[in-house]
Structure 1
Amino acid sequence: MADFEAPQYAKNMRLIGHSDQGGRPDAVQVMVERGFAYVGHLFSNGVGVIDVRDPRNPAFVEFIPAPPNTWNLHVQAHEDLLLVVHAKNMWAQAELADERNYYRAKTDDIHAHARKSEDKAAWSAGMAVYDISTPGKPKKIGFMPIKGGGLHRIWYVGGRWAYASAFIEGFSDYIMITIDMADPANPREAGRFWLPGMNLAAGETPNWPLKSGRFGCHHPIVAGDIAYCSWRDACLAIVDVKDRSAPKLITHRMWSQGVGGATHNCLPLPDRDLLMVLDEATLDNMEDGYKPIWVFDIKDPSEPRCLSTLPTPSDRNYVEVGGHFGPHNIYENRPGHFVSSDIVFTTYQNAGVRVFDIRNQYAPVEVGAMVVAPPKTLVDPRPNRPLVLHAADVFVDKDGLIYATDFSVGLYVMEYGG
């Protein structure tokens, strides 16, 4: 059995395995497919492959380095394909090392940062495609380049279409794109959607209601012909993608003046006509305010109605712990793995992994939690970062095992007792 420290706090959950990911314990998104975990790294710049067929003893397999100055922080894996984002490593820029400048900058400032380079070819921008038909042995077979900062996050669950957020030259921030995967070795951009005011190259003028903030697409999650897009400080955009070449806005809802914002995930639960919307905590010590996870009724997608919010972890005062306290990510009900419209798994940064029962959508309750031991050192090279957890992503496989990542403590495998 793997050796790891006892957790700081556990409720209805237990640790069963841990990996330091080959000495690169920084991690953001994790995908598990056919017994292997594929992890996008935040600071190490690349993708890690870990054998989790024995979840109690995960074994590091290999590290695939990114091109210079390039982020590979987000990945998607489904059956035989692994998709990997390529984007400019924004945090490597001195002026963006302070999170306030990254998360609260004006969108035209972020655009300028994305373009700032003595050599425009100094980073790789686009999406790489790997064949993982031989599990644990990714083989690069294709690449879709874009002109600009690159992709941030992708949604792909098989079939012809993928969807992503893309920072394309001429736009103020990330927009949504559709990607034709009919030939995985030659993926191509098929369509674009942006909120009015974002297309600077076409002469559009931003007219945002806030003086600062990120008005850019974090990523879409698609159910049927509707994309539910988290749009950072512009919150929620629901988009008709029936015509993948010409997506159309159904509705846009914004609530970030005082509460929420930095919207990170919009997870549809179609069988219940519900939508989970997670607002990310982006600054230390709740400097950016209260960030909830919302429950919306989307029986009519053009008129989403807020029903409730998930309870905030209350087993200790996590603001006093330091670092980020609040939501970061929600498990996105991956086809072929655990799918539920009643139980949701989330990460709460310095408050670890949290599990919620939403069977009563008007009164959700916390039913599980796991806060692992804090890091002894940080991988994060940015100055003045506190030595605390930063739980990033959570994945639940078809057997119900939970895989959670952190900026500095690697990959943990957990069991939920519910």
Structure 2
Amino acid sequence: MRTTEELRALDRSAVWHPFTQQLGWAAEDAPIVASAAGCTLTDTDGREYLDGVSSLWCTVHGHGHPAIDAAVRDQLDAVAHSTMLGLSHPPAIELAERLLAVAPRGDGDRELTRVFYSDNGSTANEIALKMAFQWWKIRGEEQRTKFVYLDMSYHGDTIGSVSVGGIDLFHSMFRPLLFEGIRVTPGDVDGLARVFTEHGDAIAAIILEPLVQGAAGMLLAPDGYLRAVRELCDEHGILMIADEVATGFGRTGTMFACSQEGVVPDLMSVAKGLTGGYLPLAATLATERIYEGFLGRFEEFKTFFHGHTYTGNPLACAAALATLRVFEDEDTLGALQPKIALLSSLLDEQVAPLPAVREIRRCGFMVGIELVDFPLEARVGHAVTLAARERGAIIRPLGDTIVLMPPLSIGEDELRALVAITAAAIAAATAAAPTSATVGIA
């Protein structure tokens, strides 16, 4: 067994980490996670940390849940992988049934009835974009090539999903590679109506994160905005794509955020919490109307020519089925409601009064704590995460917005500890940090 220092040296010489400036990474002694149980991560030196971000927003039931562990082990005794190109298998079939059963419900023909599997949120959104594009083309409306997206939106890191991304820090570098979309202001219903009126015949779909723009720093949509977008789409005959990758599976307090405003999209992408954080799996859900548009004789080439090697991987589907069963067996959403209230009160009491905190944005178990202005080079958000790590919690910033997204299964005492550590870390990291005003930055 290699020592922690040997592993760190090897990591620095061989690994390129995502969304990480490697020059700075090489100067840090980040924990190397060796094991995990419940809401606790343990590093190679035996130190324990509360998982305050659900290992990037996906471990909804915590680590090492016995029911999900058992489901994956049982599936290993059957088959670990089988392609879905020309074949199928029980876990994928049964998972599709369960996903559609918990999806947002609509009236008449407004139902999500079909499941197309992939392996992460980016690809799920990429698939939704391609489906919308091809659906219009098959119908003979080839002029409908534009996609509307929100400023500060994030839908993934593949070329199509970046094309409808509105965070310039992440996306502007790649603009020469991308197709051109129409960016609109979040929450501005009148502005969106004008765009639909002016460009309606050229628009294939609008894509948006319902209720919360996660990677933007937990920006909240005004009440009723999602419903208004749905109504505008219906009025102008434009498809609606709901990106529930981050907001799905209980994060906003309901299974899916769309349900809170009675909205059923034409296409809906899910990932992250789908397998409880066990294995990569994503899905794009479609209405029967969309699905039927692709039906035809072989020689008509209406087929949706898209797929992945690990589409609908049996192990991942088994984990996802177990994850959905846990939601039901443990009444996860019902048990979550008092914890949402407790989290809100703890943040109001311990974090909101801190002088370095400008605003707290929260929806369910999605929290963004925006700090006051600090110089970019101070990396205060990062400093807060280091201070939290020293105190026994793993959290992650989006710039100078501190994100909390603990597992839905977190206990009340653990939740109290997480907020207390976060408050102490913010106070410690910002005590000596210069504000923008101090250094003359507007």
| TM superposition score normalised by structure 2 | 0.27
- Pick 1 or 2: higher relative contact order, CA cutoff 8 A, min separation 6: 2
More strand by share: 1
Structure with the largest fraction of helix: 2
Q: Which has the larger radius of gyration?
A: 2
